[in-house]
Amino acid sequence: MTEKIIKTIKTQLIERKKDLEKELAQFTSKNVHIKDDFSADFPEFGDKEDENAAEVATFSDNLSLEQTLEKSLRDVNAALTRIEKGAYGTCKYCGEEIEEKRLVARPVSSACVKCKEKKLSQI
């Protein structure tokens, strides 16, 4: 893993982080007490019964979207932290280097393919 590749990956991760935060900002409020925690806003369409039903449906969609985006954001932040600490690209289970191909394809990876497969077979 060369400096150059890590730099490229870092740039991608920062872009991804910005995108995720922008997306989250559209329908959530940031929790000021917990880092990287967001709460979906309850939408306001009107007071009619069908409008109320649409509000509930949209809110429930937003909740699951919020969780997906939040998880991605956490993964991105964790990867950025590993880069800062100089620990990027090392498998969290076996300590071996993660294949470069894998990191380029999925920069938030924190485990090598072998350990990932082992983990998956245990489930």
In this complex, which beta carbon is closest to Zn ion, that of residue 6 or of residue 115? 115
Residue 16, helix vs strand vs coil? helix
In this complex, which beta carbon is closest to Zn ion, that of residue 94 or of residue 104? 94
Residue type, 103: L
Rounded-to-integer distance, Cα 19 and Cα 28, Å: 14
CB of 1 to Zn ion, least distance (A): 15
In this complex, which beta carbon is closest to Zn ion, that of residue 25 or of residue 87? 87
By CB under 5 A, name the binding residues for Zn ion: 91, 93-94, 112, 115
Tell how far CA 73 is from the center of its chain.
Answer: 3
Tell how far CA 106 is from the center of its chain.
Answer: 12
CB of 118 to Zn ion, least distance (A): 8
CB of 36 to Zn ion, least distance (A): 26
For the chain, the straight-line distance linking the first and the last C-alpha, in angstroms and rounded, comes to 31
